């Protein structure tokens, strides 16, 4: 296969990314729309120009504004019962947690971030342990 000019390669990569994002990352639908196999789409997605175009799209203000718009709608999630509707705090929390993880603000579970969280009496116990260790270190240093 002949090597393409960088401009052509970049334009094709951006077009592929546009179609992939329009189909919500579904390779089968993308392949149907472009008239090729899903395996071909998968091979194209691992090429450097396409990866660069995907990264550019993910970091674009357009995607961020779309996410903010959807996030505002998520704040209005409701749970419907026979008596009426009430706010669905669980769904709202899950959505925001996923959004913050996707944005890189939080680390996924199982990844250490070097922060400990203490609740109630654990804080008091920990403070006592810290204070005792300080006192012991002062005694040893004197």
Do 40 and 68 share a domain, yes or no?
no
pLDDT digits (tens, 9 = 90+) for 4-29: 788 888 898 889 988 988 888 888 99
User: In terms of domains, do 67 and 43 share one?
Assistant: no
Judged against a pLDDT cut of 70, whether residue 114 lies above it is answered with no
% of the chain surpassing 70 pLDDT: 70
The domain tally of the chain equals 2
Write down the pLDDT at residue 36: 92
Domain-located, residue 89: yes
Two tokens at 121?
């009496």
DSSP letters for 17-83: HHHHHHTTT-HHHHHHHHTS-HHHHHHHHTSHHHHHHHHHHHTSHHHHHHHHHHHHHHTT-EEEETT
128 vs 121 pLDDT, higher one: 128
Residue 95 lies in a domain: yes
Average pLDDT, the chain: 76
- Is 120 or 95 the better-scoring residue by pLDDT? 95
pLDDT confidence band for 141 (50 / 70 / 90): low
Instruction: Give the domain extent around 69.
Output: 62-102
| Domain-embedded: residue 80 | yes
Reduced to 3 states (helix: H, G, I; strand: E, B; else coil), residue 85 is: strand
What confidence tens digit (pLDDT) does each residue in 28-79 have?
A: 999 999 999 999 998 988 888 888 888 888 888 887 787 778 777 877 888 8
Q: Is residue 115 part of a domain?
A: no
My answer on whether 17 and 55 are in the same domain is yes
Q: Is residue 119 part of a domain?
A: no
Instruction: Answer yes or no: is pLDDT of 81 > 60.
Output: yes
pTM of the model: 0.50
């Amino acid at each position: 296969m002949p090597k393409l000019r960088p401009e052509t390669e970049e334009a094709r990569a951006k077009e592929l990314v546009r179609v992939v994002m329009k189909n919500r990352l579904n390779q089968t639908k993308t392949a149907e729309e472009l008239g090729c196999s899903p395996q071909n789409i998968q091979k194209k997605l691992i090429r450097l120009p396409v990866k660069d175009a995907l990264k550019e799209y993910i970091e674009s203000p357009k995607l961020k504004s779309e996410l903010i718009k959807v996030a505002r709608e998520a704040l209005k999630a409701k749970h419907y019962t026979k008596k009426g509707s009430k706010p669905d705090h669980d769904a709202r929390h899950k959505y925001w947690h996923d959004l913050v993880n996707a944005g890189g603000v939080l680390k996924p579970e199982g990844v250490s971030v070097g922060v400990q969280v203490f609740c109630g009496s654990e804080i008091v116990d920990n403070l006592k342990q810290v204070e005792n260790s300080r006192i012991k270190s002062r005694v040893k240093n004197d």
